[in-house]
């Protein structure tokens, strides 16, 4: 069927014309009627321009590929980021998409239709009440798609064209990601769109995009084509040149790898098309090559890495049968491992084939698909991340590369081993290529969508800015509200999104597209708590591994720790690594070392060790003593951890720090923060008694499963925070994430103060119990630490999860036991207790001066105090020591 010939009226339903859906892209532009399976009009976005008889001519659609006209140059009105750069030509391309297959040519001025010609010698008569030219879309509402990062000016220009130049009676602008999710039958999804010019990752929640999570990079199908060109240039024994069909007169079959035997056409300089025309035709050959030859390495691991059996993945790839390809000039070759290399850089930036002549710069790790997904999920609320991973939608023509979804699944499983990962990637080529258009077809065909349209009257009344108010259904974070406006709100759009999934009034052909297997069970799942915005943490730290079958909290954590061969691991280290890591080898408990062995050999940690080595060589006094830096790991082996208390900086005076957060050696008295901790324990358990001589040694807690871990593990004497930002924070964060990952039955995390709170933002709160409040420092204890009942709540949760025998005994003396009987922890502490707690301290032998300070300190109205109060423990302990001298 000739795309240049307009269809007859009967082809699109006579007078019953429905809304038109336009989905413009960098490579192709799709247009069709709402309610249909696929777009009826599919044209290249490229257009041709040439001069003939002194007049500039334009060529649109597939005609651009047919004849190499003299001086024919190829242009694209779209930028590679998906944003329109040439509006005049974009308008003409889109009009051609309508008129070539949908509406037919727009009627001209009736004054010149041949029926109203004025007699010779007479002036033409004015025709009152007749439009000089009928608008192109006067009878058809228009729904257009746009990328999630489309700027405001471009959106306003789009509605101006639609309303003023095309005369559409109603208009709507929808995001690509939302439409692709709808096409997959999902109102919430993580949409991965692999297009010709870029890759985008869009989180969609209840039919609205989460703006902070939208990511995109230029590594699309055209980038893969550039990698194929780079491969051809480096081919041996001779480079491969691409000769388009229009330059081939005839060819003779040759054996694989042999030079082509072809007769070529030649054009004189004045008859030859522009170089851009040849480039476009070469791209068509490269597209065929991608469809027939290119294959994504399915994993596991990168192509350059070793497989599970120790054999290089490249060696395994070489053992696979090659794929042949014949070029237009008859040259043919069988491609082996190289067919994997050209696309590997989509997942591994280091695998990119260098090409100084390419228009694409070398990719960065942040532009690869795995990193885009990580960053996208980091930009959304932690509560909905598992739900998005369970609804991953893959769309875009370049995602049809053989093996792409297999590799994507492997990457997601490695990055996020805990939650269920489910990828929705239609096997039907049309559904994959036209995902956004199909979603628009579904949306615009719904009877309930009429409330969303922007009418011509509204446009005339409010101007083009109305598109920002009516078509800006965006959530900046999953816990914030969308833009609101009188006639529409996010709640109504969420209901409409559900209607997209459940609707019975959509056309039968769309029901066939979506299929009976798709459902919306996720819409009935408990919604994330939108009233509590949470800070975004590391995405990989949020997800844990699948639960183990063991119900014994003391059982070995994983097979990897039980099978850890420490002697063999030490033998694998380089001499420098052995020297730098001798402390870890000697003092870090083996249950922790087995899990952190990869972390301690990283460049960042080795740089930290070199820094500590210089401190030691310079004679700088560092606390805690070297052999007690990792005492927390020996007192609380990994498989015994039930509670984690997160501290900040070690105490920095003599005879204080010994490797456990908040704990001090005797005879050093407990610093004020620890005194306030004891106060709160007594609020929860009146039988609690402070250690003798006002001490603060907490090793009994550590041996009962309470991991007391400072964020920074060392400090210079008398210089608070002197070792911060040297590398300890990365290491201890990994330790926190490790506990969350391997203690699959659940752990209680106590995070006091803002810095500690940031360390637990990625913890899976469905699996673990996270308790947060202000820091127990005298600066803030009265503002929420007193009365938080964390110690009681901790034991209540442990009793429910592990049983009564596994709760924590908070007692630090042998005379009393705070955890028994269980009845003492069942009812919440009264508010009055917290209010009078300071008064009761004198009875327990607590320093009266410190209690007055804790209770009379005026509350601070800002959050800045929390930022530094974790570091005050060291100063407080020093002051307490000086006072007792």
**Which residues does the annotation mark as catalytic?**
649
Q: Is 483 exposed, middle or buried (0-12, 13-18, 19+ CB in 10 A)?
A: middle
CB atoms inside a 10 Å sphere around CB 803: 11
Q: In this structure, what token pair is assigned to residue 509?
A: 């052909």
Q: How far apart are CA 15 and CA 628, in angstroms?
A: 85
Query: In three state form, how does the secondary structure of 188-233 look?
Result: CEEEEEECCCCEEEEEEECCEEEHHHCEEECCCHHHHHHHHHHHHH
The label of the residue with tokens 């002194």 reads 54
Q: How far apart are CA 415 and CA 374, in angstroms?
A: 8
Q: How far apart are CA 439 and CA 21, in angstroms?
A: 10
Q: How far apart are CA 265 and CA 257, in angstroms?
A: 23
CB atoms inside a 10 Å sphere around CB 364: 12
The label of the residue with tokens 């420490």 reads 566
Dihedrals φ, ψ of 479, to 5°? -105, 5
CB atoms inside a 10 Å sphere around CB 567: 6
Residues 6+ apart with CB under 8 A from 131: none
> Which among 660, 640, 553, 647 has a CA at the least distance from the CA of 591?
640
> Which among 124, 122, 105, 106 has a CA at the least distance from the CA of 114?
124
Q: How far apart are CA 197 and CA 482, in angstroms?
A: 29
Print burial letters for 615-644: b (CB count within 10 Å at least 16), e (below 16).
beeeeeebbbeeebbbbbbbbbbbbbbbbb
Give CA angle at 141 (137, 146), nearest 5°.
Answer: 100
Q: How far apart are CA 791 and CA 23, in angstroms?
A: 57
Q: How far apart are CA 616 and CA 723, in angstroms?
A: 13
Strands 208-210 and 474-475: parallel
Contact criterion met (CB below 8 Å) for 196 and 25: yes
Dihedrals φ, ψ of 821, to 5°? -75, 165
Dihedrals φ, ψ of 85, to 5°? -110, -35
Q: Three-class SS of residue 485? A: strand
Q: DSSP letters of 398-415?
A: GGGSBTHHHHHHHHHHHH
CB atoms inside a 10 Å sphere around CB 514: 19
Contact criterion met (CB below 8 Å) for 368 and 348: yes
> Which among 134, 131, 137 has a CA at the least distance from the CA of 169?
137
Contact criterion met (CB below 8 Å) for 632 and 709: yes
Q: How far apart are CA 81 and CA 26, in angstroms?
A: 8
The label of the residue with tokens 């599919």 reads 42
Total H helices, total E strands in the chain: 33, 26
Give CA angle at 599 (369, 308), nearest 5°.
Answer: 60
Residue 474, beta-bridge partner list: 209
The label of the residue with tokens 């008889």 reads 53
- Dihedral angle sign, alpha carbons of residues 877, 879, 884, 885: positive
Contact criterion met (CB below 8 Å) for 401 and 296: yes
Q: DSSP letters of 230-284?
A: HHHHT-SSS------GGGEEEEE---TTSPPEEEE----TTTSPPHHHHHHHHHH
């Amino acid at each position: 069927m000739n795309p240049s010939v307009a269809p007859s009226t009967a082809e699109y339903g006579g007078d019953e014309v429905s809304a038109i859906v336009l989905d413009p892209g960098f490579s192709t532009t799709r247009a069709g009627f709402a309610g249909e399976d696929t777009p009826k009009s599919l044209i290249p976005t490229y257009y041709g321009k040439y001069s003939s008889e002194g007049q500039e001519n334009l060529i649109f659609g597939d005609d651009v590929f047919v004849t190499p006209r003299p001086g024919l140059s190829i242009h694209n009105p779209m930028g590679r980021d998906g944003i329109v750069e040439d509006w005049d030509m974009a308008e003409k391309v889109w009009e051609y998409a309508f008129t070539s297959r949908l509406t037919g040519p727009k009627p001209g001025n009736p004054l010149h239709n041949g029926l109203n010609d004025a007699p010779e010698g007479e002036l033409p008569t004015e025709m009152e009440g007749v439009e000089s030219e009928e608008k192109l879309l006067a009878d058809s509402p228009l729904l257009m798609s746009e990328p999630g990062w489309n700027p405001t000016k471009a959106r306003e220009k789009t509605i101006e064209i639609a309303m003023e130049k095309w005369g559409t009676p109603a208009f709507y602008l929808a995001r690509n990601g939302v439409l692709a999710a709808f096409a997959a039958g999902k109102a919430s999804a993580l949409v991965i769109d692999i297009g010709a010019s870029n890759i985008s990752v869009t989180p969609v929640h209840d039919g609205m995009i989460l703006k902070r999570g939208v990511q995109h990079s230029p590594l699309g199908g055209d980038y893969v084509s550039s990698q194929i060109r780079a491969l051809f240039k480096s081919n041996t024994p001779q480079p491969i040149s691409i000769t388009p069909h229009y330059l081939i007169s005839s060819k003779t079959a040759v054996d694989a790898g042999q030079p082509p035997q072809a007769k070529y056409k030649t054009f004189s300089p004045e008859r030859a098309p522009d170089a851009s025309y040849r480039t476009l035709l070469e791209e068509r050959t490269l597209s065929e090559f991608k469809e027939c030859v290119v294959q994504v390495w399915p994993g596991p691991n990168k192509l350059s890495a070793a497989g599970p059996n120790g054999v290089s993945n490249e060696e395994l790839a070489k053992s696979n049968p090659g794929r042949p390809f014949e070029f237009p000039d008859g040259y043919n070759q069988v491609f082996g491992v190289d067919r994997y290399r050209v696309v590997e850089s989509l997942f591994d930036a280091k695998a990119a084939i260098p090409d100084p002549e390419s228009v694409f710069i070398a990719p960065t790790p942040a532009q690869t698909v795995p990193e885009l997904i990580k960053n996208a999920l980091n930009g959304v609320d932690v509560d909905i991340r598992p739900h998005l991973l369970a609804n991953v939608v893959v769309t875009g023509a370049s995602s049809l590369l053989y093996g792409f979804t297999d590799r994507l699944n492997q990457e997601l499983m490695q990055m996020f081993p805990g939650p269920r990962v489910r990828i929705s990637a239609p096997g039907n080529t049309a559904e994959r290529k036209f995902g956004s258009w199909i979603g628009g077809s579904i949306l615009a065909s719904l009877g309930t969508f009429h409330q969303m349209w922007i009418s011509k009257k509204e446009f005339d009344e409010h101007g083009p800015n109305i598109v920002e108010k009516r078509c800006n259904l965006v959530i900046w974070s999953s816990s914030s509200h969308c833009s609101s406006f009188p006639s529409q709100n996010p709640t109504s759009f969420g209901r409409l999104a559900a209607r997209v999934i459940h609707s019975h009034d959509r056309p039968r052909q769309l029901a066939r597209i979506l299929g009976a297997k798709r459902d919306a069970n996720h819409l009935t799942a408990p919604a994330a708590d939108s009233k509590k915005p949470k800070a975004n943490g590391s995405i990989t730290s949020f997800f844990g591994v699948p639960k183990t079958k063991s119900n014994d909290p003391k059982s070995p954590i994983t097979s990897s720790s039980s099978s850890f061969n420490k002697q063999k691991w030490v033998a694998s280290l380089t001499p420098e690594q052995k020297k730098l890591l001798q402390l870890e080898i000697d003092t870090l408990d083996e249950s922790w070392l087995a899990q952190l062995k990869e972390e301690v050999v990283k460049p960042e940690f080795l740089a930290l060790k070199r820094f500590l080595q210089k401190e030691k060589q310079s004679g700088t006094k560092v606390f805690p003593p070297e052999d007690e830096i990792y005492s927390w790991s020996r007192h609380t082996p990994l498989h015994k951890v039930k509670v984690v208390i997160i501290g900040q900086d070690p105490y920095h005076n003599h005879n204080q720090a010994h490797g456990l957060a908040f704990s001090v050696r005797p005879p050093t008295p407990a610093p004020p923060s620890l005194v306030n901790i004891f106060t709160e324990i007594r609020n929860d358990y009146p039988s609690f008694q402070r250690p003798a001589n006002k001490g603060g040694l907490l090793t009994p807690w550590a041996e009962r499963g309470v991991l007391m871990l400072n964020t920074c593990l060392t400090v210079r004497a008398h210089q608070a925070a002197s070792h911060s930002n040297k590398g300890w924070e990365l290491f201890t964060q990994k330790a926190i994430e490790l506990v969350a990952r391997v203690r699959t039955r659940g752990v209680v995390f106590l995070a006091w103060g803002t810095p500690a709170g940031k360390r637990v933002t990625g913890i899976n709160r469905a699996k673990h119990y996270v308790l947060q409040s202000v820091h127990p420092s005298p600066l803030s204890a009265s503002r929420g630490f007193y009365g938080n009942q964390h110690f009681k709540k901790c034991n209540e949760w442990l009793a429910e999860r592990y049983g009564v025998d596994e709760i924590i005994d908070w007692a630090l003396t042998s005379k009393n036991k705070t955890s028994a009987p269980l009845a003492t922890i069942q009812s919440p502490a009264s508010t009055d207790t917290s209010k009078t707690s300071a008064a009761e301290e004198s009875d327990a032998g607590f320093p009266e001066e410190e209690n007055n300070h804790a209770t009379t300190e005026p509350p601070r109205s800002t959050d800045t105090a929390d930022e530094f109060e974790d570091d005050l423990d060291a100063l407080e302990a020093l002051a307490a020591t000086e006072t007792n001298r």
